[in-house]
Amino acid sequence: MPNSNSKISLATRPADEASAVKEGSGVRKLIRVVLVSTTLICVWLTVRFPYEVESGIEYLLDGPNRVNPQTLHLRGEFVESNLGPVEEQGGTVTVRMIAEQYLFVPQCVVVPTGVPIRVRMTSADVVHQLTISGTTDEVKVVPGYIVETHLQLERAGEYQMPCHEFCGPGHYTMRSRLTAVPPEEFRKLSREARMNCAKP
Amino acid sequence: MQNRKSLAKGCGRRRAPIRLAVLTVAMLLLLSARADVMGSDVNEPPVRIPSNVAWTARTIALASSGNALRGLLIARRCDRCHGREGFSSSPSVPNLAAMDRLVVWKQLDDFRSGKRSSPVMQPIANSLSLEDSADVAAYYWMMPIAPDPQDDRAFPQPLSDPKHEAVAGRLINAGDGNRGLPPCQACHGPIGFVTGAPSLATQNATYLLEQIEAFASGRRANDINMRMRSIAAQLTEEEKHALAESYGAGLGESSAGPAGR
């Protein structure tokens, strides 16, 4: 009868299984414990030291948009040789800038008209707000995060980019310039020329 | 119950390797992935790093941990150029009295790493370790800036053109919004201080002018995130001279750093 059979087998099975369980999955259990505890330690480290720990868990959580504002100039996307306008495949332009007290760096940027422009920016110290006069673009730049804004300028000329978030005693003069030129002219300019400030 | 138990055992045995594999992959990602490498798309131009110093808490702690007494002994070799009391007798050599510790430490590190080039200072900085630099910085930070008639210091220097005071005063106090120039005092004091920005109120005019021109031309490029280069490149010649002379004549400010001494 199934019930009695099952009872007997239940009685005997644990004894058979006990040794099997101990042999086979003991190592596996240990590995699992180690992995889980390491995971928990990594999580705790990242939460406790959000800027110092540049580990993979940061990347998993919000990686592409997180940076360490203190080490922007040492490595990563916002090293100073990587700032400024760059033409991507497909004709769009990506402009990388850093907002700091009290400049948007690079301070003078040349971009082409009529082309989608993607501005990627982060802050090196406090919260700033990039505003492009003549457009409705306003984006808060927060230290530790990369913000991205898309714009397209149809009119050639000079656009002022003042800071619209109080950032310290130098906030009121914090301004950079965006110069829009026809795309052919933009392509002729060298990398340095695209970030050159014309003398007053 | 037999079915449930065998089911559980079977599923556990079958799924355990998969769970293990998933955990291992997740672990490798956690430990090996680095946000800066995966999140950057660096272009062809070689990476240019202005300074190896980053103002992390660890660096600030290291640079602030100097022993001024030990720095007193180390700094005896600095007297010849920088003066016995931190005020140099030559206008093209910077005064170091009461200079912020972090500023001195960073510049020594930049000399050591070659990010700031100076044929005179590089071998000197090479002979100092990180701790020695912190000690020397702590020593100079403690030097008073009160005028001492017994010294043959070069500071203060007279203004060559009285108009310069107005020009410089405007830039120092208010900056220039048209060009996006912040007021000098917002970073160099006394209104505001940015880590790594030296106090200019007791500095020599010739040295200041040389450094402003070095920043403007890009010859000196150890400012983090191109701050000083962007500002200096937009100054006119008259403004550069006016600023250097105005600071070199002493602004009457006695505070020399964030510690407000």
Q: Judge: B42–A79 Cβ closer than 8 Å, yes or no.
A: yes
Q: Say yes or no to pLDDT of A91 above 50.
A: yes
Tell me the C-alpha distance between B75 and B67, whole Å: 12
Choice among A38-42, A105-109, B63-67 with the minimum mean pLDDT: A38-42
Chain B CB within 8 Å of residue A173 CB: yes
Q: Which pLDDT belongs to residue A52? A: 58
Give the confidence band of B34 by pLDDT, cuts at 50, 70, 90: very low
Q: Judge: A56–B180 Cβ closer than 8 Å, yes or no.
A: no
Q: Which pLDDT belongs to residue B221? A: 94
Please name the member of A54, A67, A168 whose beta carbon is closest to the beta carbon of B186: A168
Reported as a single tens digit per residue, the pLDDT across A154-195 is 999 999 999 999 999 999 999 999 999 999 999 888 888 888
- Helical packing angle, B205-217 and B237-248, nearest 10°: 150
Tell me the C-alpha distance between B6 and A6, whole Å: 11
A38 chain-B contacts, CB cut-off 8 A: 27, 30-31
CA distance A195 to chain B (A): 10
Choice among A79-88, A190-199, B165-174 with the minimum mean pLDDT: A190-199
CA distances from B58 to A53, A144, B33, B106, B140 (A): 13, 18, 23, 13, 21
B185 chain-A contacts, CB cut-off 8 A: 169
Q: Say yes or no to pLDDT of B146 above 80.
A: no
Share of chain A above pLDDT 90, in %: 57
Q: Which pLDDT belongs to residue A197? A: 75
Residues B70, B71, B76: CA angle, nearest 5 degrees: 110
CA distance A114 to chain B (A): 24
* CA-based nearest residue in chain B for residue A38: B27
Indicate the burial class of B88 (C-beta count within 10 angstroms; 0-12, 13-18, 19 or more): buried
CA distance B236 to chain A (A): 8
CA distances from B14 to A4, A10, A34, A111, B75 (A): 29, 21, 21, 58, 71
Tell me the C-alpha distance between B173 and A49, whole Å: 38
Q: Which residues 6+ apart lie within 8 Å of B117 measured at CB?
A: B220
B23 chain-A contacts, CB cut-off 8 A: 32, 35-36, 39
Q: Judge: B5–A66 Cβ closer than 8 Å, yes or no.
A: no
Choice among A25-29, A111-115, B180-184 with the minimum mean pLDDT: A25-29
Q: Which pLDDT belongs to residue A54? A: 58
Q: Which pLDDT belongs to residue B41? A: 44
Q: Judge: A103–B175 Cβ closer than 8 Å, yes or no.
A: no
Share of chain B above pLDDT 90, in %: 59
B186 chain-A contacts, CB cut-off 8 A: 101-102, 168-170
At which residue do the structure tokens 């400024």 appear? A84
**Which of A33, A73, A177 best probes binding to B when mutated, by most B CB atoms within 10 angstroms?**
A73
* CA-based nearest residue in chain B for residue A32: B20
Q: Which pLDDT belongs to residue A16? A: 53
The distance of Cα B181 from the centroid of its chain, to the nearest Å, equals 19
CA distance A87 to chain B (A): 11
Q: Judge: A174–B187 Cβ closer than 8 Å, yes or no.
A: no
Q: Judge: B181–A173 Cβ closer than 8 Å, yes or no.
A: yes
Q: CB–CB of A68/A54 below 8 Å?
A: yes
Q: CB–CB of B167/B146 below 8 Å?
A: no
Q: Judge: B38–A60 Cβ closer than 8 Å, yes or no.
A: no
Tell me the C-alpha distance between B41 and A186, whole Å: 22
CA distance A144 to chain B (A): 12
Q: Which pLDDT belongs to residue B32? A: 55
Give the confidence band of B44 by pLDDT, cuts at 50, 70, 90: low
Reported as a single tens digit per residue, the pLDDT across B82-119 is 988 888 988 899 999 989 999 999 999 999 999 999 99
Torsion, Cα B202 B193 A50 A119, to 10 degrees, reads -110
| A103 closest CA partner among B149, B216, B183, B121 | B183
Q: Rounded mean pLDDT of A16-33?
A: 72
* CA-based nearest residue in chain A for residue B29: A56
pTM over 0.80: no
| A122 closest CA partner among A68, A52, A194 | A68
Q: Judge: A200–B234 Cβ closer than 8 Å, yes or no.
A: yes
Chain B CB within 8 Å of residue A167 CB: no
Average pLDDT of the residues of chain A: 83
A42 chain-B contacts, CB cut-off 8 A: 30-31
Residues B108, B189, B87, B221: is their CA dihedral positive or negative? Answer: positive
Average pLDDT of the residues of chain B: 84
Q: Judge: B36–A168 Cβ closer than 8 Å, yes or no.
A: no
A23 or B128: which leads in pLDDT: B128
Q: Judge: A71–B56 Cβ closer than 8 Å, yes or no.
A: yes
Choice among A44-58, A132-146, B138-152, B170-184 with the minimum mean pLDDT: A44-58
Q: Say yes or no to pLDDT of A76 above 90.
A: no
**Which of B113, B179, B215 best probes binding to A when mutated, by most A CB atoms within 10 angstroms?**
B179
A11 or A140: which leads in pLDDT: A140
Q: Which pLDDT belongs to residue B164? A: 86
